[in-house]
Amino acid sequence: MSITRRIPRPSAALVVAFAALFTALSGTGYAALKITGKSVAKSTLSGKHIKNKSLGPKEHKPNSLTGKHIKEEKLGTVPHAAKATDADTLGGNSASAFMAKGQRAYEATIAPQNNFANNAVLGTLPDLPPGAYVVMAKLTFENDGATATSTCTLHVPGANDTTTFINDVTNSENIALQKVTSPNAVFSPQVTCQSDGSDDVIGEGNIIALRLD
C-alpha cells in the first residue's frame, strides 16, 4: 500500500516573509539599473551626497564650471607659465638695464647782440657726443638799417638748415631752425646770420639738441 505525502500549503505569513526577502536582495541592483539623473529632483543632491573624487571629467558638462565653483588656491601653475612671476624682467634684467644712460638733452643760450657783423657766430652748443640728434635753434632778428633780405643758418654735420627772410626797420623776425644729424664724432652746432653791421639779436634765443638714440 502506497502512501501519498501531501505537501502542506504555505501560510500567508510565510509568503509575505519571502516576498520581503526577495525585495530586499534585489533592491540595490534594481536601483542601480533604474535610477538615472532624470530620476533625481533638481537641487536635491549637494556636495555632501557625492563621494570625494568620484566624479571624473566625463561627468561634468563642458563649460559648466565657472570661477565660483573653483578654489583658485587649489590650482597649480599653468604649464609654461612658470616665468609669469618674473614678467618685470628680461633674462633676469630689469627694464632700466636696457635703457641708454647719459644726458639726453643739451641747450645753449643765444645772447642779445647789437650791430653784429656779417655771418657772425651768434650762438654755439659745444662738444656734443657722437650720436643721433634733432638740433633746433630760435632767435629774434631785428634790422636797424634799410629793408633787406637776410639769411640765418644752423650749422650741423651733414647738411645745414637755412632760412631766408625779408626784414625792415618796423618789424622783427622770429627765426626757427631745425635739423636731424647723426655724426660719428664730437660736434658743436652753431647759428650764424647775414648782417649789414647794423642788425641786432633781441631778447634771448637758444640752441637745443635732443638725443634720439
**Model pLDDT for residues 75-120, shown as the tens digit of each residue:** 766 665 555 566 667 766 777 666 666 788 999 999 999 989 999 9
pLDDT of residue 208: 97
* 2 vs 137 pLDDT, higher one: 137
> What is the average per-residue pLDDT within 32-43?
61
In contact, 164 and 151? CB cutoff 8 Å: yes
For residue 16 the three cell numbers come to: 509575505
Domain count, the chain: 1
Q: Output the CA angle 184-190-191, nearest 5 degrees.
A: 145
The CATH number linked to 136 is 2.60.120.40
* Residue 114: inside a domain: yes
* Residue 27: inside a domain: no
pTM for this prediction: 0.54
* Residue 67: inside a domain: no
User: Residue 72: pLDDT band by 50, 70, 90 thresholds?
Assistant: confident
* Residue 191: inside a domain: yes
Look up the domain containing 206 and give its range.
Answer: 105-211
Of 186, 185, 213, 189, which Cα lies nearest the Cα of 136?
189
* Residue 1: inside a domain: no
* 181 vs 73 pLDDT, higher one: 181
pLDDT of residue 32: 52
* 1 vs 84 pLDDT, higher one: 84
